Structure 1
């Protein structure tokens, strides 16, 4: 098995990141489109001031998420053929993380908006809080915990003597 060069590694990292962003981009664009059409629906005039405020948070955070998640494409266009893949990957990682944070805010705000419209506010707040915890668990908690565990396992493997032939 041949080892990849540093240039190949940066290219692979960028390709992997773009694949991940395609998934997030689709989700945030669908949510953003839904939020853009919501004020034009028949039931929107019935929302409370609180619900309007939550709507604005959901809409603006979806817009921010969309901008951040799409920005690696624009950045790539600006740096195309300049041999600056490491900077591109580092920048893209940062803005993708920011985009996911805004996507979390938008999704939880959207859940709060809808549940507050059909349920008592206290129930809506609890459900929205649980939604936020659910996302944080799967988007941050578990990945970070697994990454630490894998790093610890790797460290143990490096310190563990290997018998000949293994």
Structure 2
């Protein structure tokens, strides 16, 4: 068993080439997750804040019953997304110092993914709410469908493809090649 800087080879957590213990890996992953959450939290909070102001607009009283239901669903989805994307903060606050960071990273990552799915749903229903005012309902539904496909492609399909390519050797592991 070779030793590197006070660590045993058995302390390495994966074959990524990083010389880190499980705790060091958890610290790194937690820092990366926080950076991702900063982007997502800001966007979802701005969207949710906007949604909350809609009811105070003069035109809100003219919405039909179905538009009010769509608005209610949109606000509830937005609130759920905010809750899920802020949830990792609570994990950190309640679990800090209890030597549970690896588990905390796993649960916070799952909660973040749920938050992103809820954000996708919030974006779709928000777009539908707005576009139904601007264009015909059928056109609005098609436009929202196209945007949902775009979000799914950008947020989920591309990362899954990249992960698959890396596993099968289709991607370079020594760093990105920027055109």
TM-score (norm 1): 0.90
The 10-residue stretch of structure 1 (62-71 or 39-48) with the greater mean CA deviation from structure 2: 39-48
Residue pairs, 1:49-60, within 5 angstroms: 49-60=65-76
Give the Cα separation in 1 of the matches to 2:139 and 2:170. Answer: 44
**Correspondence for 1:124 among 135, 140, 149:** 140
- Paired with 1:117 and 1:60, the residues of 2 have a C-alpha distance of 20
1:78 aligns with 2:94: yes
Higher relative contact order (CA 8 A, sep 6+): 1
Runs of 4+ in 1 over 2 A off after TM superposition: 154-157
**Matches of 2:113 and 2:28, distance apart in 1:** 18
Please identify which structure carries the higher helix content. 1
Give the 3-state SS of the residue equivalent to 2:44 in structure 1.
Answer: helix
Deviation at 1:156, TM superposition (A): 10
| DSSP-derived class of the 1:3 partner | coil
For each residue in 1:28-50, what CA deviation from the matched residue of structure 2 results, as whole angstroms up to 9, or x when unmatched?
A: 00000000110101111122222
The CA deviation at 1:90 is 0.5
Q: Are 2:46 and 1:30 equivalent residues in the alignment?
A: yes
Q: Displacement, 1:154?
A: 7.1
Cα deviation for residue 87 of structure 1 reads 0.9
Residue 12 of structure 2: aligned partner: none
- CA, structure 1 residues 33+155, in 2 after alignment: closer, same or farther (shift >3 Å)? closer
Residues 1:8 and 2:24 aligned together: yes
Indicate the RMSD between aligned Cα atoms, in angstroms. 1.8
| Aligned partner of residue 32 in structure 1, secondary structure | helix
Distance across 1 between alignment mates of 2:166 and 2:44: 30
Verify the 8 A CA contact 1:61 1:103 in the aligned structure 2.
Answer: yes
